[in-house]
Chains A and B, each alone.
Chain A
């Protein structure tokens, strides 16, 4: 019985603790703005680091202080923990909560339903335009333009290698490590390939998937396997330093993503494209301060500086790369270059690996030029396309009138997928 008494006393103690915990001030009227960011991993992931750096910069520019008026939750899995993290940030007094990973979306929506007074902004998500929640928003950037530019730099490098006699036109094969075979990744590598082929017409590409967003060993091994498959230049869309460091070891030029890997790979780093999230964070913080609405679907572009190229590497890039990139960038900016112009690619393969289940959604002419394509823009989970996205001969990759996240998921000719 004594033990029982002790337990009861302990419980009383616990509950009295609870009673004296201070309550958060209700609402944010007059109080300083507080914002929070939920990250899938931490700074060791290039993807999350890109968000964290931009978030810190935007918050500090707005006069917010870490731990007081802005908070970052790292290593938050894509599960119920995300909702818990979001609600915890609301408890902390945050009125704008961001999350950085695709799989966070359903839990951000759950949190948004529970807290209608708080704005929930989710990067890379697809559901804001169909969910009809006033306080839930998606954002992305036309990163395919950045990938296209990075691809041009890769193409120029291939040309240089051909001129030097290191490779021939026929062996100008690029390797690409993608995380998952879905639209965000496909759109990225297709744009990269189109950029490379615009500079080096004989280029081909082999893609391999890791089915992980962050797996350093696997990404490294995938890069080594591509090198063994005679790929002479490698790029990746996965979040660790695995692929770039494997390239450095093998002395294979590398086009990176999410940020410069010049420090890790001084011999082989060409250039990296990245999404700059700072303009979006600034826009949301400003909107929250002024009580304005945050757009349901935000697409940053080259012009908003949401899509950036890092500085070129010191050693690896081909001569004249900087000038050519400036020229192509101007073309993207004024609209004279469209990345997904249907004159620039063909689609002819329809089987279990290439364009599976897409035969009924697409219309192509006898050469494989795409005339019409119904894409699954509403992402209702049915995988059935409902929106024709070929407008004036161009695949409209994303847009605030469609949705911010990519839906380009065709397998174009010239790109092979490794088994």
Chain B
């Protein structure tokens, strides 16, 4: 017989500081396992591994910017999914919504070309990208509101459709022999986000920072934010107090899609300057983790996205210095995510010793 059993914690029984202690404990434990794995694989001592990781994330000015850009992009997608999540609408289609945004931006760069001044071009790109993202998000929302379809499956499947659409357009647009779209407007830089003071990613970071503050205020202090919270807690309550639930679902998913589209735009115009199936690079899924771990608080999400990006960049450096395969980075990130998700179990449930037999 097992000497313990699992009990669900009552909702208010876990003070926020205990929850955070469990989370921080889990991350530390995860880091420990990562260190162990790394030490076993490389034979280097853990301190060396850790300093290499820090170096990989912060070692040079360029690395620091690359880290900030990584955080900004992950955060942007996370901000996009947050309002929907808070409403308990499980939008796991951010990958596809952002990809459609990126595709729209890339198409503008390729076909509008030099006929517009760059500022107007960027404006057109932002608008089309956000619209594309919104269209991709509103389709499952309409189905949910009208026929109560399962939004998780629906948004998930929309990802694959988006990826196939991008593949199709890559085949159509690709000029080179490798079946890829090259750097778009490599010489004219039309549709490229301008760099500020020589910093290519600064504008991206500023935009996402502003967006973070906006989303914090929107969710916490606006009427919309309140409606989202109520719908998320209980649809019946929402109906009872006269909230039009359908309207809120659709409106919130449009916002979610608009911001995903923006993320796609920022990736294509502000960093990659091309489009591929992997432009979003799984951020649409990682964002779920970031948002959820931060309890849908946009400010805390800065920290959670930092955490994930730090481990990605740091372990990338370890794999390179120690001559490991690049997949090592995925292994490390996987371990950390495993512990983070695992910690939620211990926040929601507690393990009790069995009472004496024959009660």
Question: Contacts A77-B278, A80-B271, A110-B183 given: A91-B300 contact, CB under 8 Å?
Answer: no
Residues of A within 8 A of B90 (CB): none
* Cβ contact of A21, chosen from B55, B178, B180, cutoff 8 A: B55
Flag whether B25 is at the interface (Cβ < 8 A). Answer: no
Report A9 CB to chain B, min CB distance, Å: 10
A393 contacts the other chain (Cβ, under 8 Å)?
Answer: no
Residue of A nearest to B299 (CB): A7
Binds A, one of B58-66, B112-120, B129-137, B148-156: B58-66
B321 at the interface (CB under 8 A from A): yes
In the bound complex, residues from chain A placing their C-beta under 8 Å from that of B303 are: 7, 10
Tell me which residues across on chain B come within 8 A of A183, comparing CB atoms. 177
The answer, yes or no, to whether B272 is at the interface (CB within 8 Å) is yes
Taking the closest CB of chain B, its distance from the CB of A213, in whole angstroms, is 9
Contact A79 B58 (CB under 8 A): no
Shortest distance between the CB of A234 and any CB in chain B (Å): 24
Most central of B61, B299, B302, B326 by chain A CB within 10 Å: B326
Determine whether B274 belongs to the interface, using a CB cutoff of 8 Å to chain A.
yes
Which residues of B sit under 8 angstroms from A345, Cβ to Cβ? none
Interface residues of A in 111-163 (CB under 8 A from B): none
Interface of B is mostly: loop
Closest Cβ–Cβ distance, residue B278 to chain A (whole Å): 6
Contact with B along A369-382 (1 / 0, CB 8 A): 00000000000010
- Tell yes or no: B54 within 8 A of A by CB: yes
Docked-complex contact B178 and A78, CB < 8 angstroms: yes
Is B175 part of the binding interface, using a Cβ–Cβ cutoff of 8 Å? yes
Residue numbers in B under 8 Å from A109 (CB-CB): 183, 186
Tell me, yes or no, whether A75 is within 8 Å of chain B by CB: yes
Determine the residue in chain B with the shortest Cβ distance to A3. B300
Instruction: Write the chain A residue with the least CB distance to B64.
Output: A18
Interface check B182, CB cutoff 8 A: yes
B279 touches A79 (CB 8 A): yes
A4 within 8 A of B: yes
Given A4-B299, A80-B273, A107-B183, do A17 and B60 touch, yes or no (CB 8 Å)? Answer: no
Q: Which of B321-355 contact A (CB under 8 A)?
A: 321-323, 325-327
Contact with B272, one of A23, A76, A79, A87 (Cβ below 8 angstroms): A79
Q: Are B186 and A180 in contact (CB under 8 A)?
A: no
CA distance A102 to B64 in the complex (A): 29
Which residue, of B178, B186, B278, B323, has the highest number of chain A Cβ atoms within 10 A? Answer: B178
A216: interface (CB < 8 Å): no
CA distance A358 to B306 in the complex (A): 54
CB neighbours (8 Å) of A23 from chain B are: 60-61
The A154-205 residues at the B interface (CB cut-off 8 A) are 180, 182-184
Q: Does residue A14 face the partner (Cβ distance < 8 Å to B)?
A: yes
Contacts of B274 in A (CB 8 A): 79-80, 106
Q: Is the CB of B321 within 8 A of A42?
A: no
Closest to A409 in B: B177
User: B322 to chain A: which residues have CB within 8 Å?
Assistant: 67
User: Are A110 and B66 closer than 8 Å at their CB atoms?
Assistant: no
Within 8 A of B (CB), among A28-67: 42, 66-67
Residue contact A75 to B327, C-beta cutoff 8 Å:
yes
A349 interface residue (CB < 8 Å to B): no
A91 touches B271 (CB 8 A): no
**Closest B residue by C-beta to A107:** B183
Indicate if A279 sits at the interface (CB-CB under 8 A): no
Residues of B within 8 A of A105 (CB): 176, 182
A–B Cβ pairs within 8 angstroms, 18 of them: A7-B303, A10-B303, A11-B302, A21-B58, A72-B323, A73-B326, A74-B325, A76-B326, A78-B180, A78-B276, A79-B274, A91-B59, A102-B177, A105-B182, A106-B176, A109-B186, A180-B178, A180-B179
Please name 8 further chain A to chain B contacts, defined as beta carbons within 8 Å, in addition to the given A79-B180, A102-B178, A103-B176, sorted by A numbering. Answer: A7-B300, A21-B55, A21-B59, A22-B55, A22-B59, A103-B178, A103-B179, A106-B176
A: residues with CB less than 8 A from B are: 3-4, 7, 10-11, 14, 17-18, 21-24, 42, 66-67, 71-80, 84, 87-88, 91-92, 101-103, 105-107, 109-110, 180, 182-184, 211, 381
| 9 A-B pairs with least C-beta separation | A103-B178, A80-B272, A182-B177, A75-B326, A21-B58, A106-B182, A106-B183, A18-B58, A381-B175
